[in-house]
Amino acid sequence: MLLGVITVIYIIVLALQVCIPYVVRETIVFGVTVPEQHVKHPSLQRAKKHYTRITGIVGITLLIIMLITNWTVAFSELTQSILLSCFLFAMIAVSMGMYWVNHQKVLNLKKHEQWGKNLKQVRAVDLTARNRDEMLPWPFFVAPMGVTAFIIAFTLFRYELMPENIAVHWGPTGAADDWVEKTYFTAILLPCVMLMMQCMMWGIADSIKRSAIKLSVNHKEESLESQLKIRKFASWSVMLLSYGLTIVLTVLQLSNIYPSLAEGEKLLPLLILFLVLELGGTLVFVWKLREWRLDYTENVTSEITDVDEDRYWRGGLIYINREDPSIFVEKRFGIGWTLNLGNPRGYIVIFLPLVILLLISIFSL
């Protein structure tokens, strides 16, 4: 079971890592801003191929070694899980290493050939873009909190009838494997965790909404359309994740009240469905990103280019810009968004719920 889950995750992560250079914006190569006038430079194509080939070959080799070690050496479940995760992290480390090598390569090439030296940097904004933004409004993210409130009330109502031990951890098959003594606090622990998750999802959706709609100066209309589609898709994905978590955690909490619900492997199909939906959603998102990506096949003769923000990106991965009011910015190497670490609001949206989750789990022990 564990081997199956980790192998599936391994393959999906590897596939994502391998295709990232071909999914992210073409004007940002390995975290370096490349003026559109240079995106077809042969060295860039070579760097992308180099990254994909090495990451792919090493990744598959590691997978084979992982499977062989797993089958030839009989481990206990604990050492098996440590071994499998080590291989997963090793593969991610290799792809990050390959990223780093190519990041330096492109950086040097850009410096050496003085890209963008004679181009005027321009930032374009469509003042009506916000009216066309189709992200879901906040009630969609607050609605599941009603379920939480109901389940808390219901738990307290049924408190006397609940079993003396409350499950707080579940194994990969959906069967509970760790319990704590029943108190009013531990009884509503799970709904509290659920509430924090819902808050976080709402915060993320709201932050993406407040983030920049970035246009490409030489392709304003196409880039606007692509941005609006990505934002709409992201907002729906966050909503589905929030609803999915709500359903799974509600069922788990109900199984605390009615233990017969979680006997054997009854909850397994639900958990698998949740995992498949989330992983499938990610793959569809990557597919769509690739489809909506701007096409730079035409030769640009324009004298202007997008603003080069490399100085705000540490290593092309971490964004710190105190002037920028955006909380989230699109990742430069990867799928989705990353935090603007220069904006304190981001810490509230992401780290506050995490800290509260941590406190809840510490107090429940």
Partner 1 sequence: MLIQIEPQSDVPIYEQVTRQIIEGIAKGEMKPGDMLPSVRNLAADLGVNMHTVNKSYHELEAKGILTIRAKSGAIIRSAEERTLTPEQLKQIEKNLKPVVAEGMVLGATANQIEHMMKKVFADLQVLTEGM
| Contact footprint for partner 1 (CB under 8 A) | 120-131, 210-214, 217, 220, 307, 309, 321, 323-326
| 154 CB neighbour count, 10 Å cutoff | 15
Q: What are the backbone dihedrals phi and psi of residue 247, each rounded to the nearest 5 degrees, phi first?
A: -65, -50
Smallest separation, CB 220 to partner 1 (Å): 6
- Give the nearer residue to partner 1 in terms of CB position, either 169 or 311: 311
> What is the SS3 assignment for 300?
coil
User: What does the buried/exposed string (b/e) look like for 316-352 if buried means 16 or more CB atoms within 10 Å of the residue's CB?
Assistant: bbebebeebebbbbbbbbbbbbbbbeebeebeebbee
- Give the nearer residue to partner 1 in terms of CB position, either 55 or 211: 211
Smallest separation, CB 326 to partner 1 (Å): 5
Smallest separation, CB 236 to partner 1 (Å): 21
Cα–Cα distance for residue pair 228/236, rounded to 1 Å: 12
| Token pair in block for residue 132 | 């066309």
Cα–Cα distance for residue pair 272/254, rounded to 1 Å: 18
Q: Distances from the Cα of 243 to the Cαs of 113, 117, 137, 281, in angstroms?
A: 50, 49, 15, 14
- Give the nearer residue to partner 1 in terms of CB position, either 111 or 210: 210
- Give the nearer residue to partner 1 in terms of CB position, either 78 or 127: 127
Identify each DSSP E strand in 138-274 by its residue range: 165-170, 176-181
- Give the nearer residue to partner 1 in terms of CB position, either 46 or 322: 322
Residue with tokens 């090495």: 54
Smallest separation, CB 126 to partner 1 (Å): 5
Q: Please report how the helices 139-157 and 189-210 are oriented relative to each other, as an axis angle in degrees rounded to 10.
A: 170
Smallest separation, CB 245 to partner 1 (Å): 28
> What is the SS3 assignment for 351?
helix
- Give the nearer residue to partner 1 in terms of CB position, either 55 or 226: 226
Smallest separation, CB 237 to partner 1 (Å): 21
